[in-house]
Structure 1
Amino acid sequence: MRRNLVIAIGASLALATLQPVLAQEQPPPPAPAPVAASPADYAAAIESLAGKLETAYVEPAQGQRYAAMLRANKATYIQITDPMALAKRLTDDLRAVHPDNHLRVALGSPDGGPGGGPRRMRIGPGPAPGPGPGPGPGGPRPPAIEDPKWIADGVAYIKFNMFDGAPETLATLDAFMKEHADAKAIIFDARTHRGGGPAEMNVMLPYLYAQPTRLVSMDMAQSVVDMRGDPTRGDPNMRPVSAPKGVNRREHWVTPNAETRLRDAKVFYLTSTRTGSAAEHLALAFKRTHRAILVGEHTGGANHFGGFEPLGAGLAAFIPVGRTFDPDTDWDWEGVGIQPDVAVPADQALDKALELAKG
């Protein structure tokens, strides 16, 4: 898998190996059967969780609040003998301190997250609550790109299921942009977009903007960067900027290329409640720069990125270490999604965009 920045919908991950890749979660294998641990083992796991939140959570002040709560209640937690009940209690209590639907404790393994997933970190928004887009465990995944074509006179169309950053995907996308450079309108369909990274954005957006433009900002815990390196380093589209203590901040920019014909084209971006992660990153970029009209439903609300960390005692925790946000307002879409400009049911979004494109 490519080593580049992840804007992910989650995975079985671990801070310890920080593999900065950009992909959507593959369904994890079934969690191991719960086995009760000793109070001493649970105490050590809770202290491990407190330490990780204290040093790696994307909002340092909140991380310290989480840690203080865990330590204050440790004597109560170690009396819970059912590991599944303990994981749920810890999750509920953490979210009561500060709501973050990605932060959670689950049954895990010594090697990583639920089901014994590999020890790796994916840098990008984490999993949205509930089932994500795409088929269930073991089911086939659709291709990253589908249906690049003329869909009407002067109207180009392309559907994204994922930004996987693969060379063949980037080549297909660049060819699409070049072959449709005389379009009067382009429809980007992200209704089934399950996440990924910025490589595809860095291919398509230079065709659409007339001047260098700041898209979004991304924060990551400085402690994680210090320990494992900055996964955005070397990407000229990710510019480092000053940030509060404990935070590493980059701004995602677009720089126009030499092709000018699409700079005045209408752009429509189709969304649904299944649109998540990197697709939401692009939705916010389009919306705040007024370069596209969002048509459909609010997006899925999967912003915070991070990974699963083993805690010991058969437990693991998803630790959010970063977020993507509007640099003008500091707003992010965690848990709420991004609202469309033209609200219609997802299955009517394409017809509505065609109507607007022809108008």
Structure 2
Amino acid sequence: MPSHAEIIDRALDRIVTGYVFPQRAVEVDQAIRARLASGAYDGLGGAAFCAAVTTHLQEVCPDKHLRLLWQDEPRAAEPAEGDGGRAAFLALMRAENQGIRRCEQLDGNIGCLDIRWMADAGEGARAIGAAMELVAHTRALLLDLRKCRGGSPAGAAMWCSYFFPDDQVHLNDFYERATDSTRQFWTLSHLPAPRYLYRPVYVLTSTTTFSGGEDVAYTLQAYERAEVIGETTRGGAHPTKRHAVTEHITVAVPTARTINAVTGGNWEGVGVRPDRDVPADTAFEVAYKAALERLA
């Protein structure tokens, strides 16, 4: 196992060269090296060491995507494809049914989708389409993102596309530091299931809702296409790449920032604030009642 100094050197190298805000990366580098020199990590191992470094990273730069992560099962020290964690993410999505936990038709012909991850728009397209096909003829939809932990920006754009009539809606932009370029995300022109139009949509959120889940909630709210019901979300808006540091440790580095086409901003650090602020464990009942009353 490499020493703490070696692990921190490798992690900070990725942060300094890749973090979306270069000046903040320099501040992080200085602060973590000072912590190391002071003995802050002496005696810590495994998960405890990663948790301590993450706490100190986020004290300097309160970005919830910026983390040092421990995994019990060893992995290749650096994937041969050098894909920033994409292969591991796709494998996770396959194991998690492309993020779709539950699809249900409720009494009153109201649809409910429980989404835990925003799947890749390529591999996940058929599963997303299958879920939307099953709720295509409902009168209203509850999109439950209370346990959604994030995922693919392109997958989030695909989910959003179902709630708009065509490919003419500019959803958001991603500014990427590495290329000094901006990528636009628009609604998709072709989808594998019918679009869900002209009917009420309710997005359920919690303090667990994060990243790609927040993207969908924020975008649909900004366009007044859905009502958000639940709790303010965690507040992570920066697309992130993951790099192996050791076979057990990975550093997550936000490499881009999101710019919503309506607001010009994002939810970083503040979360998505609901239209109806209620405890997460009551959000389903509140949204279901709201849908029934609106349809009545």
- Using structure 1 for the length normalisation, give the TM-score: 0.61
**Change beyond 3 A, Cα 1:61–1:175:** same
CA positional deviation for 1:328: 5.0
Please say if 1:51 is aligned against 2:27.
no
For residue 293 of structure 1, the aligned residue among 199, 212, 227 is 227
Q: Is the 8 A contact 1:142 1:161 kept in 2?
A: no
2:272 match: 338
Please say if 1:250 is aligned against 2:200.
no
Q: 3-state SS of the aligned residue for 1:357?
A: helix
Deviations 1:185-204 (A, max 9, x none): 22212222233325654554
Letter of the structure 1 residue corresponding to residue 19 of structure 2: Y
Structure 2 matches for 1:201-280, cutoff 5 A?
A: 201-211=156-166, 212-222=168-178, 247-255=180-188, 262-280=196-214
CA positional deviation for 1:56: 0.9
Q: 3-state SS of the aligned residue for 1:186?
A: strand
Q: 3-state SS of the aligned residue for 1:307?
A: strand
Separation of aligned partners in 1, 2:39 and 2:9:
11
Q: Is the 8 A contact 1:48 1:311 kept in 2?
A: no
Separation of aligned partners in 1, 2:226 and 2:208:
19
Q: Is the 8 A contact 2:175 2:257 kept in 1?
A: yes
Separation of aligned partners in 1, 2:50 and 2:129:
46
**Change beyond 3 A, Cα 1:328–1:66:** farther
1:161 match: 116
Q: Is the 8 A contact 1:145 1:169 kept in 2?
A: no
Deviations 1:243-270 (A, max 9, x none): xxxx342222114559987421111111
1:307 match: 242
1:99 match: 62
1:238 match: none
CA positional deviation for 1:301: 2.9
Letter of the structure 2 residue corresponding to residue 193 of structure 1: C
CA positional deviation for 1:290: 1.4
Separation of aligned partners in 2, 1:80 and 1:150:
52
**Change beyond 3 A, Cα 1:58–1:336:** same
**Change beyond 3 A, Cα 1:160–1:330:** same
Greater RCO, CA 8 A, separation 6+: 1
CA positional deviation for 1:292: 0.7
Q: How many residues align?
A: 276
Q: Is the 8 A contact 1:209 1:256 kept in 2?
A: no
Q: Is the 8 A contact 2:128 2:159 kept in 1?
A: yes
Separation of aligned partners in 2, 1:89 and 1:260:
47
**Change beyond 3 A, Cα 1:168–1:279:** same
Separation of aligned partners in 2, 1:276 and 1:58:
19
Deviations 1:5-35 (A, max 9, x none): xxxxxxxxxxxxxxxxxxxxxxxxxxx7xx8
Please say if 1:117 is aligned against 2:80.
no
Q: Is the 8 A contact 2:62 2:269 kept in 1?
A: no
Structure 2 matches for 1:307-326, cutoff 5 A?
A: 307-310=242-245, 317-326=251-260
Separation of aligned partners in 2, 1:173 and 1:316:
29
**Change beyond 3 A, Cα 1:46–1:156:** closer
Q: Report sequence identity in percent.
A: 25
Separation of aligned partners in 2, 1:173 and 1:90:
37
- Using structure 2 for the length normalisation, give the TM-score: 0.72
Separation of aligned partners in 2, 1:200 and 1:161:
12
CA positional deviation for 1:215: 1.6
Q: Is the 8 A contact 1:174 1:204 kept in 2?
A: no
Letter of the structure 2 residue corresponding to residue 206 of structure 1: S
Separation of aligned partners in 2, 1:335 and 1:99:
7
CA positional deviation for 1:176: 4.3
Q: Is the 8 A contact 1:182 1:261 kept in 2?
A: no
Separation of aligned partners in 1, 2:41 and 2:114:
48
Q: Is the 8 A contact 2:160 2:220 kept in 1?
A: no
Separation of aligned partners in 2, 1:181 and 1:320:
36
Separation of aligned partners in 2, 1:168 and 1:291:
26
2:37 match: 76
1:170 match: 125
Q: Is the 8 A contact 1:206 1:257 kept in 2?
A: no
Structure 2 matches for 1:176-195, cutoff 5 A?
A: 176-178=131-133, 180-195=135-150
**Change beyond 3 A, Cα 1:206–1:257:** farther
Separation of aligned partners in 2, 1:261 and 1:51:
44
CA positional deviation for 1:68: 4.5
